[in-house]
C-alpha cells in the first residue's frame, strides 16, 4: 500500500531565525519543542503533513549510531556540518512500524530497530500535551546524505491542530517532494519499496510516483535545473531538493512574498523560493489542483 508524505525535516543552525523566515513566507509556525536527544524543533502544519524545522541545540546529548539503531540527531548534526542547512530527511506516513521494518529489512533497505519516543508539545492555546511517535528507518545504500523513515503517530489527536494549518500565504496542503540524483534509475528499487508506490517514467531522467498525500519525483540535475531554474544539490545518490506546496490563490501568495521582500522566482506558473533565501531548502508554491 502506498505511503503518503508525512513530513520533511529542514535542519538549520538557528531555530528562531528559521521560524522568522517561515513567518515571513506567510506560514503559521508552532512553538519550540524539545527532543530528549538534543534537537529542538518548530512545526509548520498543513492537513496531514508538516515541515519540521530542526536545530541541533544540545549537541552533547546526541547519541551515536548503533549497530541496529539509527540516530536521528547524529544524522542531522552530520548533515549540517557537512552540507550546511537543508533538507536531510524525507518522511512518509506510517501505519504499522513493525511491518514496515520487516518490509525494508526483507528488501535489503533496512536493518534498524523501530524507534519509539514521546515528547511534550504546545497547543495553540499554550497548553502542554504529550505526543508520541514510532519510526521505521529505511536506507538507500547509494545515498549516504539522505535519510528516510516512516512516522506513525500514536497520539494524533494531540498533534494535529487546525489553527496551525491556516497560513497567510494561502497554503492548503503539500503537493509533493522532489528528489535529485545523477542517475534516477539507480534508486527506483529503493524508492518503490520505501513509498510502496510504482514510479512511472515521465521522460528519460524524470520519474514520478503518486502517493495518497503528494507526488514524489526524482529528476536528474539537468532536468531539475530546467524545471526550477536552480542547480540540484551535488553529491552521491539521492538528495531531497524541494518541497512543493499547494496554495488556494497564487496571486495572494505572490503578494505575501512581495510584501516580505522575499527573493523568489516565477517559473511556468509556480513560485520558487531557492536555497539562498530559504536557508538551504527549496520551497515551491503552486496553484492547488
154/141 Cα distance (integer angstroms): 29
Q: Name the grid cell of 212.
A: 495518497
pLDDT at 10: 98
Q: Looking at residue 166, what is its pLDDT?
A: 97
- Show the cell assigned to 116: 519509539
* pLDDT at residue 53, as a whole number: 98
Spatial distance between the Cα atoms of 133 and 272, rounded to a whole number of angstroms: 32
Q: What sections of the chain are H helices per DSSP?
A: 15-24, 72-83, 97-106, 156-159, 188-195, 221-228, 250-259
| Per-residue pLDDT at 122 | 82
Backbone angles phi, psi at 286, to 5 degrees: -145, 155
Architecture of domain 5-165: Roll (3.10)
- pLDDT, tens only, 40-54: 999 999 999 999 999
pLDDT tens-digit readout, 228-251: 999 999 999 999 999 999 999 999
CATH topology match: 5-165 vs 171-287: yes
Residues of the chain with pLDDT under 50: none
| Rounded Cα distance, 198 and 214, in Å | 14
Topology (CATH level 3) of domain 171-287: 2,3-Dihydroxybiphenyl 1,2-Dioxygenase; domain 1 (3.10.180)
Q: How does 251-283 read in b/e, with b if 16+ C-beta sit within 10 Å?
A: eebbebbeeeebebeeeeebbbbbbebbbbbbb
Q: Where are the domains of the chain?
A: 5-165, 171-287
Amino acid at each position: 500500500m502506498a505511503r503518503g508524505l508525512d513530513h520533511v525535516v529542514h535542519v538549520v543552525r538557528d531555530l528562531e531565525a528559521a521560524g522568522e523566515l517561515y513567518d515571513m513566507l506567510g506560514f503559521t509556525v508552532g512553538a519550540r519543542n524539545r527532543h530528549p536527544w538534543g534537537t529542538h524543533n518548530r512545526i509548520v502544519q498543513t492537513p496531514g503533513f508538516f515541515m519540521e524545522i530542526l536545530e541541533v541545540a544540545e549537541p552533547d546529548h546526541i547519541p551515536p549510531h548503533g549497530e541496529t539503531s539509527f540516530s536521528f540527531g547524529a544524522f542531522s548534526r552530520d548533515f549540517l556540518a557537512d552540507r550546511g542547512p537543508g533538507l536531510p530527511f524525507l518522511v512518509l506516513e506510517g501505519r504499522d512500524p513493525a511491518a514496515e521494518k520487516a518490509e525494508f529489512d526483507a528488501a535489503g533497505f533496512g536493518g534498524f530497530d523501530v524507534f519509539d519516543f514521546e515528547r511534550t508539545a504546545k497547543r495553540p492555546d499554550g497548553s502542554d500535551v504529550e505526543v508520541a511517535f514510532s519510526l521505521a528507518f529505511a536506507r538507500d545504500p547509494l545515498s549516504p546524505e539522505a535519510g528516510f523513515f516512516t512516522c506513525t503517530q500514536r497520539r494524533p489527536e494531540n498533534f494535529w491542530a487546525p489553527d496551525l494549518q491556516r497560513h497567510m500565504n494561502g497554503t492548503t496542503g503539500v503537493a509533493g517532494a522532489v528528489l535529485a540524483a545523477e542517475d534516477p534509475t539507480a534508486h527506483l528499487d529503493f524508492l518503490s519499496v520505501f513509498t510502496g508506490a510504482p514510479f512511472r517514467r515521465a521522460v528519460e531522467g524524470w520519474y514520478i510516483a503518486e502517493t495518497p498525500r503528494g507526488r514524489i519525483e526524482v529528476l536528474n540535475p539537468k532536468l531539475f535545473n530546467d524545471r526550477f531554474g536552480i542547480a540540484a544539490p551535488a553529491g552521491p545518490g539521492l538528495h531531497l531538493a524541494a518541497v512543493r506546496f499547494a496554495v488556494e490563490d497564487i496571486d495572494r501568495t505572490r503578494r505575501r512574498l512581495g510584501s516580505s521582500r522575499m527573493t523568489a522566482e516565477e517559473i511556468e506558473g509556480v513560485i520558487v523560493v531557492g536555497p539562498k533565501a530559504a536557508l538551504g531548502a527549496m520551497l515551491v508554491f503552486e496553484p492547488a489542483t
